[in-house]
Structure 1
Amino acid sequence: MTKPEAGSPVTKSDYNRRKLSTDPFIERKMEFLIESMDDLSMEHICLFYFFYHSLSRQQA
């Protein structure tokens, strides 16, 4: 399997060349990535509400 050159377009056949044995590995890593992004999003929301609540208490 040859590496595509930088700047060359990716074709459908490039996806067919990858090893199928890595599919469970990639799928699991993607699940971890999505879960981490969800956690990060929830943390940002909690921090936003914390600062908003602190601001409203200071203004009162």
Structure 2
Amino acid sequence: MSGIQRIQSIDRYDLDELIAKAFDEVRTAVTTHSEKSIQTYSHALRALVELRQQVAPEA
């Protein structure tokens, strides 16, 4: 077994939807020039993408 442990219990399709929603929120924040929202949603998007990388692929 490699040193990387994959997360099994998170639905990757649900996670992909959350990533898409967070991306849309970042885009909206940029459009409205909301610095706080840009920071908040950018951090959330980064965390979701990192989590997505840990979700085990379907067999």
TM bucket (normalised to shorter chain) is 0.3 to 0.5
- Normalised by the length of structure 1, the TM-score is 0.41
Write 1 or 2 for the structure with the bigger share of helix: 1
> Which of the two has higher C-alpha Rg?
1
